[in-house]
Amino acid sequence: MPTIDANPASGTRDLLPDDVLRRERAFATIRRTFDAHGFAPLETPAFERLEVLTGKYGEEGDQLIFKILRRGEHEASGEADLALRYDLTVPLARVAARYGSQLPTPFKRYQIAPVWRADRPGKGRFREFYQCDVDTIGSDSLTADAATLVAVTDALEALGLTGFRVQVNSRKALRGLVEAYGIAVEREGDALVALDKLDKIGLAGVTAELVERDLPPAAIAALEADLSAADPAAAVRARLERSETGVAGLAEVDQLLTLVGDAVPVTYAPVLARGLSYYTGPVFEVVHDGLDATIAAGGRYDGLIGMFQSVDVPATGGSVGLERILLLLEAAEEASAAAAGPEVLVTVMDEDGAADAVALAGRIRAAGHSVEPYSGGGRLKLAKQLRYADRRGVRVAVIRGVEERAAATVTCKALATGEQRTVPLADLESPLAAWLEA
């Protein structure tokens, strides 16, 4: 019989113990931070009914949804009725509509969980990856937007990240901008898609794209002048003061800046739009200078929950770019990675000693140490067991062969130093305590 390919599916990863431990440490740090900010954990299913997800992520996003075949008699039809979750925001909107009055208002939740996208897998891009979201449902107050910003940046700091800064804008200010520069409202989408790329393709790139998209030459010239000024934010601000919507948008941005105060290194980014079309108010992104990358982002989306019920519910939140950050942390931690093994290995020197080793391990565990009896097969050589112990990062090997059993003693070996002590069985705990607490 031919054997089956043992690789994980394209775009997915197996996480071996050291990877899991490193990731779990980061997740625990984030959870602790969000808990400390009054957010509570929520979990939603891995899959949703297809109609819950379709039509929420734009045409391109819809193409990337993994669909699940109907089971049973309908299987042969090739139809799908379920789909894997594509992000954590749409399921949250569904939950908010479903459990509305059962939840506190505002409802503050976080979720750290995998999502799935049928993207072309590439370098550092996966089809299964974790998202880490924090949202507040049911509040139209900018205090909720500010609380998101403070929680997200506190989480980044708790992870040990430095050298990041926060850029904020408001969809209202962007609408004012379109108005102030004399762009027709129906061309807003075209203009914003191009402007949003400023960080990526630079001013020349943006200008070229605005020309290509056939926006008014006067508007393009004015934008080009303002964005190449010594202080682009000030230049755009001056322009926005001429539009009523612009003034209202700027007021929103300024109020948010006041609310977060100096807890967060935050500035106004006049053309930041954040691609997702569901944003309706403030938007933000956290950029890491050294990395030249966005490591967190979010904004207000007051219209999404209304897709699941007849009443709109205001909502705002953010998402931490977990996989990118984990790669950063991995590089920093490589040297100090904890081994995923127990502190103590009780060796098994002969078949007759195996039950003794299992019992001894139980006794050592009761003293508060992590420990296993050697449970490998084959010939019971000491050298092989010590190699295994070393491989697992074990610190003390407890050896009890025929001799030790006859003399009611036990031999303990500190693996780092090679130091070895034979003590009465009753005194076993003392060398362990001494070496493991050293």
Window 58 to 77, contacts with its own copies (CB under 8 A): 63-64, 66-69, 71-72, 75, 77
Q: How far apart are CA 358 and CA 352, in angstroms?
A: 11
Nearer of residues 36 and 416 to its own copies, judged by Cβ: 36
Q: Look-up: residue for tokens 């909502």?
A: 315
Interface with its own copies in residues 276-305 (CB under 8 A) = none
Candidate segments 195-203, 293-301, 317-325, 364-372, binder of its own copies by CB under 8 A: 364-372
274: left (phi over 0), alpha (psi -120 to 50) or beta: left
Binds its own copies by CB under 8 A, chosen from 168, 240, 260, 386: 260
Interface with its own copies in residues 261-280 (CB under 8 A) = 261, 263
Question: Under a CB-based contact definition with an 8 Å cutoff, are residues 158 and 288 in contact?
Answer: no
Nearer of residues 219 and 260 to its own copies, judged by Cβ: 260
Q: At 230, list the tokens.
A: 């010594």
Q: Least distance (Å) from its own copies to the CB of residue 389?
A: 9
Q: At 103, list the tokens.
A: 């939840």
- Contact between 14 and its own copies by CB under 8 A: the answer reads yes
Alpha-carbon torsion, ordered 97, 98, 100, 106, to 10 deg: -60
Q: Least distance (Å) from its own copies to the CB of residue 96?
A: 8
- Contact between 122 and its own copies by CB under 8 A: the answer reads no
Q: Who's near 431: CB < 8 A, 6+ residues apart?
A: 396, 412, 421, 423
Interface with its own copies in residues 94-113 (CB under 8 A) = 94-95, 97-99, 102-106, 108-109
The mark string for 139-158 relative to its own copies (x by CB under 8 A, - otherwise) is: xxxxxx-xx--x---x----
Q: Least distance (Å) from its own copies to the CB of residue 243?
A: 24
Interface with its own copies in residues 320-359 (CB under 8 A) = 340-342, 345, 348, 354-355, 357-359
Omega prior to 217 cis, within 30 of 0: no
Q: Can you tell me whether residue 184 is helix, strand or coil?
A: coil
Residue 275 main-chain phi, psi, to 5 deg:
-45, -45
- Contact between 314 and its own copies by CB under 8 A: the answer reads yes
Q: At 136, list the tokens.
A: 């507040």
Closest CA to 234 of 266, 197, 192, 267: 267
Q: Least distance (Å) from its own copies to the CB of residue 343?
A: 9
- Contact between 379 and its own copies by CB under 8 A: the answer reads no
Count interface residues toward its own copies (CB under 8 A).
115
Question: Under a CB-based contact definition with an 8 Å cutoff, are residues 400 and 346 in contact?
Answer: yes
Q: Least distance (Å) from its own copies to the CB of residue 217?
A: 38
- 295-309: string of b/e by CB count within 10 Å (b at 16+)? bbbbbbbbbbbeebe
Q: Where are the beta strands (DSSP E) in 127-180?
A: 128-137, 164-170
- Contact between 124 and its own copies by CB under 8 A: the answer reads no
Candidate segments 198-206, 237-245, 372-380, 404-412, binder of its own copies by CB under 8 A: 372-380
Interface with its own copies in residues 200-239 (CB under 8 A) = none
